[in-house]
């Protein structure tokens, strides 16, 4: 499949945005951040479904070397998208992957072009970030903004979490939506993915700055608890370096599920100011909060003990 995608991109790599389009290259970008399994995919889907933002669909993501072409192709399905936005199918996903062809994508191939291979982990050093082709990154995201003619939402936990301050520097008109979820449920979900998927039995998801140390641990519960805590610390460090802290919108997973309309209004207020928020914004769905213990009592106890040790916070026994 990768070879086919590469050949496909060869055909459109020279696509350019028409000059008659309004120049939106300095438009706003909404970056979604959060630990894996914290609700970032749902937040992405909710914002995309409003039609108020441009986003990268699974269809558009196939054109990772020509994002503007992918965006233009996606726009040709606007009528289909409006119908899909109202359906349950648009909000279905499997471990971060939206199931519909117009569902939002993490755009992994695109971001890997700029960040992958610089280091062994997903937390990049300043010296590695200096090697990123910033000019091309700005241009390609800017071209997408021109095609969509509105702010765009981007989500890629793998690369955004530890590079938030870098993204702020590259895209000054950006804001950051940060999803928070109880660490136990994040860790439990990662563990279950590893238990149930032979391909990822030894590791799943993002690699924190101390990845090598964690990988050498033999106990999978200890390993995942350490992974979650290290990822949180990497994310916190990155957020601490953001110059303008008012750019960060925080929401917890439970609130996102129970009050999506409030979440949408909060993001728009941060992006455009309170005068731009329409009282008519109504999101007619709520979502089940997936916080339930799915481990045995012993496994639950082990995981919480490790998390308490690494995070140095109290993890509730009653869930």
Domain ranges for the chain: 2-181+246-288, 183-243+292-319
Per-residue confidence (pLDDT) for residue 275, from 0 to 100 = 61
Per-residue confidence (pLDDT) for residue 13, from 0 to 100 = 74
Per-residue confidence (pLDDT) for residue 209, from 0 to 100 = 96
Per-residue confidence (pLDDT) for residue 210, from 0 to 100 = 95
Per-residue confidence (pLDDT) for residue 242, from 0 to 100 = 96
Q: What is the pLDDT along the chain (319 residues), one digit of tens a residue?
A: 677 667 667 767 777 776 656 677 888 999 999 999 999 999 999 999 999 999 999 999 999 999 999 999 999 999 999 999 999 999 999 999 999 999 999 999 999 999 999 999 999 999 999 999 999 999 999 999 999 999 999 999 999 999 999 999 999 999 999 999 999 999 999 999 999 999 999 999 999 999 999 999 999 999 999 999 999 999 999 999 999 999 999 999 999 999 999 999 999 999 887 666 665 577 889 999 999 999 999 999 999 999 998 876 444 444 3
Per-residue confidence (pLDDT) for residue 280, from 0 to 100 = 56
Please state whether beta strands 97-98 and 29-34 pair in parallel, antiparallel, or not at all (unpaired).
unpaired
The C-alpha atoms of residue 72 and residue 8 are separated, in whole angstroms, by 16
Per-residue confidence (pLDDT) for residue 319, from 0 to 100 = 38
Per-residue confidence (pLDDT) for residue 23, from 0 to 100 = 74
The C-alpha atoms of residue 316 and residue 296 are separated, in whole angstroms, by 16
Per-residue confidence (pLDDT) for residue 4, from 0 to 100 = 64
Per-residue confidence (pLDDT) for residue 317, from 0 to 100 = 46
Whether the model clears a pTM of 0.85, i.e. scores above it, the answer is: yes
Three-state SS sequence of the chain: CHHHHHHHHHHHCCCCCCCCCCCCCCCCEEEEEECCCCCHHHHHHHHHHCCCCEECEHHHHCCCCCHHHHHHHHHCCHHHHHHHHCCHHHHCEECCEECCCCCECCCHHHHHHHHCCCCCCCCCCHHHHCCCCHHHHHHHHHHHHHHHCCCEEEECHHHHHHHHHHHHHHCCCEEEEEEECCHHHHHHHHHHHHHHCHHHCCCCCCCCCCHHHHHCCCCHHHHHHHHHHHHHHHHHHHHHCCCCHHHEEEEEHHHHHHCHHHHHHHHHHHHHCHHHCCCCCCCCCCCCCCCCCCCCHHHHHHHHHHHHHHHCCCCCCCC
Per-residue confidence (pLDDT) for residue 133, from 0 to 100 = 98
């Amino acid at each position: 499949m990768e070879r086919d995608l590469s050949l496909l991109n060869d055909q459109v790599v020279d696509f350019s945005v028409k000059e008659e389009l309004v120049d939106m290259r300095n438009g706003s970008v909404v970056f979604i951040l959060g630990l894996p399994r914290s609700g970032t995919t749902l937040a992405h889907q909710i914002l995309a479904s409003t039609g108020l933002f441009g986003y990268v669909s699974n269809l558009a993501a196939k054109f990772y070397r020509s994002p503007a072409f992918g965006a233009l192709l996606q726009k040709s399905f606007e009528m289909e998208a409006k119908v899909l936005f109202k359906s349950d199918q648009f909000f279905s996903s499997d471990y971060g992957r939206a199931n519909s062809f117009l569902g939002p994508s993490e755009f992994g191939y695109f971001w890997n072009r700029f960040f992958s291979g610089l280091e062994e982990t997903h937390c990049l050093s300043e010296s590695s970030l200096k090697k990123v082709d910033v000019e091309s990154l700005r241009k390609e995201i800017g071209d997408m903004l021109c095609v969509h003619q509105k702010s765009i939402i981007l989500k890629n936990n793998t690369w955004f979490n530890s590079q938030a301050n870098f993204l702020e520097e590259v895209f000054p008109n950006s804001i950051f939506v940060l999803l928070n979820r109880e660490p136990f449920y994040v860790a439990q979900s990662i563990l279950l993915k590893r238990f149930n998927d032979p391909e990822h039995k030894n590791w799943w998801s993002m690699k924190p700055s101390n990845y090598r140390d964690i990988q050498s641990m033999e106990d999978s519960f200890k390993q995942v608890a350490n992974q979650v805590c290290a990822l949180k610390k990497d994310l916190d460090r990155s957020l601490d370096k953001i110059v303008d802290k008012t750019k960060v919108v925080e929401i917890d997973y439970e609130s996102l599920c129970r009050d999506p309309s409030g979440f949408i209004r909060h993001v728009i207020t941060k992006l455009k100011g309170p005068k731009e928020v329409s009282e008519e914004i109504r999101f007619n769905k709520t979502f089940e909060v997936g916080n339930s213990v799915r481990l045995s009592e012993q496994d639950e106890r082990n995981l919480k003990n490790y998390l308490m040790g690494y995070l140095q916070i109290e993890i509730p026994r009653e869930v």
